[in-house]
A and B are shown apart, each in its own frame.
Chain A
Amino acid sequence: MRIPCPYCGERDGAEFTYCGDASPVRPAADAGEAAFVDYVYMRSNPAGEISEHWYHGQGCRNWLIVKRNTRTHVISAAMLAKGSAP
């Protein structure tokens, strides 16, 4: 897998750590337990396009949002997570 890091350029997937679906957003502190249970545990797990978090730990040390197809592994976009909405 080749991940197009917005800073480093395209790199081998082995340089990155995966952290799953980027869609769930951490609820507000007072959102209550159910909201946190949903945020922490429940996943859409789509077969197709997904926006996900990858960490370029062996590169620029940035968290990325990568748009990838889980059926084909084709990556259509990658951006820095900081300042991007999933």
Chain B
Amino acid sequence: MAEIIIPRGAFELHLRDLPPVSGANTLKVDERLESAMATVMSRGDNAALAARIHDAFGIVLPSGPQRVSNGVEAFIGVGPGVWLAVFEKAGPQRASKLAASLAGLASVADQTSAYAVLRITGEAAREVLSRGAFIDFDPSVFGPGSAAVTTISHIGVSIWRIDDAPTFEVALFRSYADSFWHWLTTTCTALGVGLVRHGGSARI
């Protein structure tokens, strides 16, 4: 069978229908399909794990709910001794390579397909997210590099802030994508915020 199988984004159909141009009071949104993700769970020696990760990626593993990135790879704290590793433009085998490199120090579970990740950029992003999540997104509290695992509209989400634009990424289990999209669009409509497709995907 010489054929190529195509991965499907959880938000693919919704995003297809968005206009590509941004205007006043719009939010740019796209789905992160080129990244690989994995849950990294320490086997107890957090210091050794942090050292190994620092050696491999130049990343200081955060001990709390933060995201630390080297521009290509990022580790996001989601629980004590548990991180979500995100690799930009990585292939489907990335998680097993990570597992091999952290052998003995961490257990690794591939979650590349488990999460649908929306990147949301724009002035209104903070207000839109705070409609759904009971999290203080004030810049003094939730600046770039902050992360939180919580819920929006009865859906479990992980949210991290990337930059000052502000850009946020929201990761949720992919089966919830349609319901999440409904929440996002109705909330944006209520706020008078338009959704537009992100042009390309920035490397951060």
A contact set with B: CB distance below 8 Å: 6-9, 11-12, 14-15, 58-62, 80, 82
Contact = CB atoms under 8 A, between A and B. Distances in A.
Contact of A80 (B65, B80, B150): B80
A62 B79 contact: yes
A8 B134 contact: no
A14 to B, nearest CB: 8
Contacts, number: 38
29 contacts: A6-B80, A7-B64, A7-B65, A7-B79, A7-B80, A8-B65, A8-B148, A8-B150, A9-B65, A12-B134, A14-B134, A14-B151, A15-B150, A15-B151, A58-B149, A58-B151, A59-B79, A59-B148, A59-B149, A59-B150, A60-B65, A60-B79, A60-B80, A60-B82, A61-B82, A62-B79, A62-B80, A80-B80, A82-B80
Interface string B129-155: 000001000000000000011110000
B156 interface: yes
A50 B78 CA distance: 28
